[in-house]
Structure 1
Amino acid sequence: MWAVLLNGSKVEGGDRRTGNCFLFFSEKLLFIMTLTEISIKKMLPTTYVRSYVAHEIFVATTYFKNLRPAMDRFVSRAGAAKTLMSLTGTIPVTFAGKIYNIPVRVWIEERYPHAPPICYVQPTAEMMLVKRVFLSADGQILLPYLKEWKKGDCDLIGLLQVMAAVFGEFPPVSMRPPPEQEPGSCWTDADENSVLSLPREDGQPFQRKNETDC
């Protein structure tokens, strides 16, 4: 096997790393691995399908740039702890014509892609969870995309895109009112849940047709 660098020079075995990526050739195979993808693969234990998972994470973080991969300690609801790959950060959503960043954490199990990721909304101290049919009391995301997960039809980037679309229609978090002030305006959603308005970038609350005083 030999490698061609981006500058066109050829080296045996692909030992030199002077560019951002290599083109590795075999008789019938051509593939590209960026240094970022290589570094993600190195983070993963051998219990993962390392090349597959690293590529999916790389693609996901290319589009959702505020997500960062890291191996971290995951504790299940039963209290069992294990070290898993996770993506932590925010995903941008469009709500009422404005873009907001929703904090999430996506845990990728060793059985991935045969098993779906375990996903949570993680509100900051200034935020509170909003009651939604796709959200558990502790913030776990329970979308149909996850419940009906099937290898080959579902992937990490598709999951994040679905999350962004759903959160844009039904925000999973709202801002906490300042403790020294009374809550401002609120609005009632289709399920008749009173939801605190998310602040806009100009600092003003949203005005909705079914807005009421609380």
Structure 2
Amino acid sequence: MSYCEDTIKKMLPKAYVRKHVAHEIYVAATHFKNLVPMMDKYVYNDGTTKDLMSLTGTIPVLFNDKTYNIPICLWIEESYPQTAPICYIRPTREMMIVRGKFISSNGEVEMPYLEEWKNGECDLVTLLQVMAVMFGDFPPVCIQPHSEPEQASCWLQFQRQAEVLSKTDGSFYVSLLREDDQPFQQDNETSC
């Protein structure tokens, strides 16, 4: 379902800079067709809740010459665009979060683009593009272990299924293998 700018603007409470935020959400949803704008309750770390606009869905990520759809949620606070969105990985039941350099154990995305956010220089489309590139280098999810006990950590499972390789430029990438040596499903991917 596509949303027009006016529909998005009507969804936003008056506390938002409605015209600007609606335009950015519209542009982001146009570039990333699997993202849907919606108002929902966000729960802060201190337990307080607030109705916030979010962009929820998947973004395509190129990994080992294949495209995978990584589930995300961007929470846009009323102070946007002065403050960066709060970004999370939203794994499906078949996935586990891979805590790493840019992903916390609860799935929050913590990366330089967000930390160095500047009003007027940063926007949602660029943020999503940076996330897609970053997730191609550092996959944020792995498939749930099916033959392992429930308490098996994602990191251990990830290490068993992945091989860390280095590129000629000195950077690293992860090569994931399925147990049956079959290629991963590419359309509407729920594992990486």
d(CA) in 1 for partners of 2:99 and 2:165? Answer: 11
**Between 171-180 and 61-70, the greater mean CA deviation after superposition:** 171-180
Count of residues in correspondence between the two structures? 166
Task: Name the counterpart of 1:187.
Answer: 163
1:72 shift after superposition: 0.1
Structure with greater helix percent: 2
Any residues of structure 2 matched to 1:65-104 within 5 Å, and which? Answer: 65-104=33-72
Q: Which runs of 4+ in 1 moved over 4 A?
A: none
**Structure 1, unpaired ranges of 5+:** 1-33, 206-214
Question: Pick from 125, 137, 142: which aligns with 2:105?
Answer: 137
**Structure 2, unpaired ranges of 5+:** 150-156, 167-173, 185-192
Q: What secondary structure does 2:56 align onto?
A: strand
Identity score, percent: 55
TM-score by length of 1: 0.71
Alignment check: 8 A CA contact 1:103 1:122 kept: yes
1:178 shift after superposition: 1.9
d(CA) in 2 for partners of 1:120 and 1:189? Answer: 26
TM-score by length of 2: 0.79
1:140 shift after superposition: 0.2
Instruction: Pick 1 or 2: higher relative contact order, CA cutoff 8 A, min separation 6.
Output: 2
The verdict on how the C-alpha distance between 1:151 and 1:204 changes in structure 2, with shifts beyond 3 A counting, is same
The answer to whether 1:197 aligns with 2:180 is: no
Alignment check: 8 A CA contact 1:175 1:197 kept: no
Deviations 1:82-141 (A, max 9, x none): 000001100000000000000000000000000100000011110111121111110000
d(CA) in 1 for partners of 2:101 and 2:182? Answer: 29
Any residues of structure 2 matched to 1:115-154 within 5 Å, and which? Answer: 115-154=83-122
Question: Pick from 126, 150, 170: which aligns with 1:158?
Answer: 126
Structure number with bigger Rg: 1
Alignment check: 8 A CA contact 1:103 1:121 kept: yes
Task: Name the counterpart of 2:15.
Answer: 47
Structure with greater strand percent: 1
